[in-house]
Amino acid sequence: MVRRRAESRAPIDGQGGWRMHSERDARGRETVRRFLDALPDPPEAPESELPLGTGLPVPPADAATVIDAARSVAARYWHDEVEELPELVRGRLGEEDFSQLCLLADALVIGEHPSAHTWSEQELQRTAAWVAVLMDRLGEDGVQQLISVLTQTVER
């Protein structure tokens, strides 16, 4: 008799059910939570340390300058409807995926800008949306082009 591949696999709990799998997940989550709770609090940062947001090799700039730079990078590739690109990408990806991409843009790019700590919440969100557009359409190249434009714009 020839066994099908699916029939030859043992069930997760060895008895045909998924119960043990969920218990194992719960135990794993509990173990991770206990581990994290046991970690010591990080030490206070000395006053002399650089402020957060100094990871990008760009000069300080306001949010409007960064958004304009992102628009100029986008305009190189999409000549029509540049102003609507964040909403177009949001519509294509869906609200949840676009929000996740904005969080990624915020963590990897916006949060590393030396001036981001001075921007309002609305400016941070608008800037993250524009960076998310570049990341979605151009990936790391979009971020590198943004850095290049920012450096040239602010140094003028």
39 pLDDT tier (thresholds 50, 70, 90): confident
Q: Would the pLDDT of 98 be above 90?
A: yes
Domain ranges, ordered by start, for the chain: 9-38, 63-155
Query: Among residues 56, 70, 55, which one has the least CA distance to residue 153?
Result: 70
Highest mean pLDDT (candidates 15-29, 49-63, 141-155): 141-155
Give the pLDDT of residue 81.
79
The pTM of the full predicted model, rounded to 2 decimals, is 0.64
Give the pLDDT of residue 12.
45
Give the pLDDT of residue 18.
43
Q: How far apart are CA 146 and CA 127, in angstroms?
A: 12
Query: Among residues 29, 35, 36, 59, which one has the least CA distance to residue 148?
Result: 59
Decide if 133 contacts 98 (C-beta within 8 A).
no
Average pLDDT, the chain: 79
Q: Would the pLDDT of 134 be above 90?
A: yes
Decide if 61 contacts 115 (C-beta within 8 A).
yes
Q: Would the pLDDT of 61 be above 80?
A: yes
* Percent of the residues in the chain that have a pLDDT greater than 90, as a whole number: 44
Least confident range from 25-29, 35-39, 55-59: namely: 25-29
- Work out the average pLDDT over 119-130: 95
